[in-house]
Amino acid sequence: MGLFQKLVSFLGVGRKEVNVLVVGLNNSGKSTVVNNFKSDDDKVTDIVPTVGFSVERFQKQNLAFTAFDMSGHGRYRDLWEHYYKDCHGIIFVIDSSDRLRLVVVKEELDLLLQHPDICQKKIPILFFANKMDCKEALSSVKIAAALGLDKIMDKPWHISASNALTGEGLQEGVEWLTQQIRELLSVKN
Amino acid sequence: MSRSELSVSRWLEAHTDRGAGLTTLPRNAILTDIVGNGDYHLVITDLKLDNDTKSRLKVYKGTLMTHDQALSNTPNSVISFYADLNEPRIPVVGVACGSELFLYKNLKPFYKCKVPSCPLSEQESELWKTLMEKQDFNSEDIIKELKKIPFSLLSSRSQHILNLESPLKIEEYIRKYINSMPTKENVITCMSTIEKTTHDKYSVNCPIIGTEFGNIYILDPQNFSILHQANTCNVKATPFIIECSGLYDIEFRIIVACREGYICILRKGWLEGKSLIQITNDIVDMVLIPGDNFITVATADKGLHCYTKRGQKLWSATTTNSITCLCLVPLDHINMYMVAVGMKNGLIHLYHGRHLTDFTVAPDTPSVIVFGPVGQEENVMVIVTMGGTISFKILKRTADFSNRNHESVPVLQGKPLPLPKRSKLFLEQSLRERQSAVEIHQTFQQDLLRLRLTTARALVQNLSDQSGVGNEKENIKLSAQVLGLGPKFTVILTLENINPNKVLTGLSVTFHSNPIFYTLTTYIITVPLIPPSLSYKMETRVQETMSETSSETSVAELEPAGVKVIRVFVTRYDHPRPILAATINMPPTEFMV
């Protein structure tokens, strides 16, 4: 980063608006993850199952994020694809303690990756192996293997184990995402 | 997208544990929200039929077993129901063991209710009463007395006595129990639940119990006293599957499948059920389709039958393998009910009505299939196989069961045959048949005899003529062809092996002709092996001797018809008699002018 750019970003002139999509199965902790990114005054204490979707805004490193927190319930998963078009990044939240539904996660991920709006673009995907504190939780390596993430060649991806209740692991993941989106935007410009 | 592709399975293989070692039977596995937090668990009994190990009640949370407790007796069936309206809504799990129903809440036993025992037969109670009074007995007399009573009507104690071998043991056994009257346990054979006042996911349900002696009890969900008692049928019938529809307080139907092949119906207020359907084959399993209340029954002869609630047969289908279990697959999001049919060798077919819409495969023969919510997922099929494997399959969110593919499945039954209307001619004919049945029959018999005679004649004729053409016994056929105009001819013989299984060996062909007329290049040909259904061609050259004398002198030697012949014999090496003989009529030489 050059001196000029540093100056620009310091002054906040180069602030960019980016859209990220937060998806994952129901009860995986999407809303809790998004809640953690919000500033302290916006945080909510009670998190209830999302109906449809909710839009949240937060800032990270001079990027203004607009997060579309999608509902993960089976009957709302059809909505996800309508937001693929304008998103700059995807956060995929996985409940690492739910071994039974790992196949469902894989199915949904495959559907997402095969979608025409996604498969053409080089969108960074951030995976959160959430609920790492649970005793039956699988490690992020195992989840990556189970989902076949190594087969994703054309998109940058990253997986980090997280605990959305305490915020553990979330910063690391979102920093990676911010950097990826920044690179993507600079290439475009 | 795989949404519309039919070749892709609609099921996701979530988890398979081949080492689970579960032994269970239909109606022994349920999916229930055991803790009351919306996280559905699988509650299953693991049968242990050895004497020294006890059967166990196991609970699976997702794919992990979280709870395992011993049961006092061999379990028969498991139910779960909401007994009250208290928050949080925690269902009661009922496990039937012997004649007792154990009730668990939060996986802790909290109540046990016992089915009332049956009265003893008069003779038996008399016998035991006298024993109690006298305190002295002769075991042989007792055996004699007990044998007078039908075995199935005896109490288990008396049955045990009859099964004991040595008189010493019998005496010891009787001494042990002489001071008490025996009881005839009414063993629970099946259970179900019925909604009490409302149709609702969380509505209060009454347990229903069916017993060995054909009693049906409906219990109160709160204090487990008997609300209603009825007999299954007016004949002896042992219920083994109970299904119900309706509400206990308003109107309900209980459909009971019995071991004797009856399907009985019991309605509100009835003290005795009515036999609705009688099936000649053994019933394997039965499900009631909600909505229409159609009864789908699987029988031991690979049959799947569907009846209306009034007992009229709607359709029947034959499956590829023997059916081991059925399971209702309700798909609420597309408002559809299907029936999963588990079969030998692990195939599971899904029927929507009579149409086979989908299939999936289990590791081996399924013994129990349950479908419903597990954990956070709504449409999960849990299969426990005979080999003890537990397998979880999740229905894809994108699974499409639309009617499109129904057209490819042929409609087997249902439509009546397209019979034409009864014409005047048909009526006249049937009238005539009725009037002169004897004459028609006699004419028919005569014609039949005549036909047989004609056939026999034709056969005899054929056999006498056929010598040159073939030999049926040896399964060979010979045909000859004469080529040429003369005086040089070529005779081509084709020997065909008609037998499709056996080879022909050791044959030779001999030509015989008058040397005055013909000279042949070869007179004996050895036939090589002829494989089944194939033929062998051989040829020989024939030269007509054109001496003037021969044509004049040998007129007498000509065949009666005046044609010259060459005879062919097919012989076997070791047999002097030819197995086939033929005469080739040679054409006369046409002299060129």
Query: Does residue B242 sit in the same domain as residue B321?
Result: yes
| pLDDT classification of B412: cutoffs 50, 70, 90 | low
Q: Do B397 and A25 touch (CB under 8 A)?
A: no
Residues of B in contact with A102 (CB under 8 A): 14
Q: Specify the CATH number for the domain of residue B99.
A: 2.130.10.10
Inside any domain, residue B552? yes
Distance CA B60, CA B390 (A): 11
pLDDT over 80 at B402, yes or no = no
- Helix, strand, coil shares, percent, chain B, to 5: 20, 45, 40
Query: Does residue B130 sit in the same domain as residue B36?
Result: no
Token match 């042992």: residue? B238
Q: What is the pLDDT of residue B77?
A: 92
- Helix, strand, coil shares, percent, chain A, to 5: 40, 25, 35
Q: What is the pLDDT of residue B1?
A: 36
Query: Does residue B253 sit in the same domain as residue B329?
Result: yes
| pLDDT classification of B5: cutoffs 50, 70, 90 | very low
pLDDT over 70 at B405, yes or no = no
Decide if B265 contacts B259 (C-beta within 8 A).
no
Distance CA B507, CA B499 (A): 15
**Closest residue in chain A to residue B392, using alpha carbons only:** A100
Q: Do A107 and B397 touch (CB under 8 A)?
A: yes
Inside any domain, residue B287? yes
Work out the minimum CA distance from B42 to partner chain A, whole angstroms. Answer: 13
Residues of A in contact with B14 (CB under 8 A): 100-104
Query: Does residue B104 sit in the same domain as residue B127?
Result: no
The number of domains in chain B is 3
The Cβ of residue B522 has, within 10 Å, a number of other Cβ atoms equal to 12
Q: Do A108 and B397 touch (CB under 8 A)?
A: yes
Distance CA A27, CA B373 (A): 15
Q: What is the pLDDT of residue B579?
A: 83
% of chain B beyond a pLDDT of 70: 91
C-alpha dihedral (B480, B485, B487, B492), degrees to nearest 10: -20
Q: Tell me what the mean pLDDT of segment B260-275 comes to.
A: 90
Distance CA B34, CA B28 (A): 16
| pLDDT classification of B556: cutoffs 50, 70, 90 | very low
Q: Tell me what the mean pLDDT of segment A81-85 comes to.
A: 89
Domains for chain A: give ranges and CATH numbers: 18-188 (3.40.50.300)
Q: What is the pLDDT of residue B151?
A: 81
Work out the minimum CA distance from A28 to partner chain B, whole angstroms. Answer: 10
Cβ of residue B383 closer than 8 Å to a chain A Cβ: no
Distance CA B197, CA B575 (A): 95
For residues B311 and B447, which has the higher predicted lDDT (pLDDT)? Answer: B447
Cβ of residue B394 closer than 8 Å to a chain A Cβ: yes
Inside any domain, residue B289? yes
Query: Does residue B278 sit in the same domain as residue B384?
Result: yes
Query: Does residue B193 sit in the same domain as residue B134?
Result: no
For residues B362 and B475, which has the higher predicted lDDT (pLDDT)? Answer: B362
Nearest CB among B13, B14, B64 relative to A136 is that of B64
Inside any domain, residue B453? no
pLDDT over 80 at B463, yes or no = no
| pLDDT classification of B460: cutoffs 50, 70, 90 | confident
Q: What is the mean pLDDT of chain A?
A: 86
Distance CA B277, CA B275 (A): 6
Q: What is the pLDDT of residue B468?
A: 47
Query: Does residue B392 sit in the same domain as residue B536?
Result: no
| pLDDT classification of A14: cutoffs 50, 70, 90 | low
Residues 6 or more apart whose Cβ sits within 8 Å of residue B420: none
Q: What is the pLDDT of residue A23?
A: 93
Least confident of A2-6, A43-47, B8-12, B363-367: A2-6
Residues 6 or more apart whose Cβ sits within 8 Å of residue B287: B243, B295, B296, B326, B327, B328, B339
Query: SS3 for B259?
Result: coil
Inside any domain, residue B369? yes
Residues, chain A: 189
Residues, chain B: 593
Q: Which domain holds residue B141?
A: 122-177
Nearest CB among A100, A103, A108 relative to B375 is that of A100
Least confident of B157-161, B369-373, B417-421, B424-428: B417-421
Decide if B137 contacts B146 (C-beta within 8 A).
no
Q: Do A104 and B398 touch (CB under 8 A)?
A: no
Residue A8 tokens read as: 């620009």
Cβ of residue B338 closer than 8 Å to a chain A Cβ: no
Following DSSP, what letter does each residue of B311-373 receive, concatenated?
S-EEEEEE-SS-EEEEEEEEEGGGTEEEEEEEEGGGEEEEEETTEEEEEEE-SS-EEEEEEEE
Distance CA A90, CA A67 (A): 9
Q: What is the pLDDT of residue B4?
A: 40
Work out the minimum CA distance from A114 to partner chain B, whole angstroms. Answer: 7
Q: Do A107 and B396 touch (CB under 8 A)?
A: yes
Inside any domain, residue B462? no
Q: What is the DSSP letter of A127?
A: E
Query: Does residue B282 sit in the same domain as residue B249?
Result: yes
Query: Does residue B155 sit in the same domain as residue B212?
Result: no
- The pLDDT tens digits of the residues spanning B416-450 come to 777 778 888 988 999 999 999 999 999 999 999 99
Strand partners, B297: B286, B305
Given B404, B434, B458, the domain boundary residue is B404
Q: E-assigned strands of B386-517?
A: 390-395, 470-471, 476-483, 488-497, 507-513
Nearest CB among B1, B62, B398 relative to A100 is that of B62
Least confident of A153-157, B36-40, B412-416, B471-475: B412-416
Q: In what order do the strands lie in the sheet with B313-318?
A: B283-289, B294-299, B303-307, B313-318
The Cβ of residue B418 has, within 10 Å, a number of other Cβ atoms equal to 5
Q: What is the mean pLDDT of chain B?
A: 85
Radius of gyration of chain B (CA): 41
The Cβ of residue B205 has, within 10 Å, a number of other Cβ atoms equal to 21
| pLDDT classification of A5: cutoffs 50, 70, 90 | low
Residue B70 tokens read as: 């011993």
Query: Does residue B244 sit in the same domain as residue B289?
Result: yes
pLDDT over 90 at B593, yes or no = no
Beta strands at A89-95 and A16-24: parallel, antiparallel or unpaired: parallel
Given B349, B369, B404, the domain boundary residue is B404
**Closest residue in chain A to residue B60, using alpha carbons only:** A100
Q: What is the pLDDT of residue A4?
A: 56
Query: Does residue B166 sit in the same domain as residue B203?
Result: no
Cβ of residue B90 closer than 8 Å to a chain A Cβ: no
% of chain B beyond a pLDDT of 90: 34
Q: Taken in order B540, B541, B543, B544, is the CA torsion positive or negative? A: positive
C-alpha dihedral (B258, B259, B260, B265), degrees to nearest 10: 0
Q: Specify the CATH number for the domain of residue B507.
A: 2.60.40.1230
Q: What is the pLDDT of residue B220?
A: 92
Token match 């050791």: residue? B506
The Cβ-side half-sphere exposure at B177, using a 13 Å CA radius, reads 14
Mutation pick from A101, A117, A135 vs chain B, by most beta carbons of B within 10 Å, is: A101
Distance CA B222, CA B83 (A): 6
Q: Tell me what the mean pLDDT of segment A152-169 comes to.
A: 90
Cβ of residue B12 closer than 8 Å to a chain A Cβ: yes
CB pairs under 8 A between A and B: 49
Query: Does residue B54 sit in the same domain as residue B98?
Result: yes
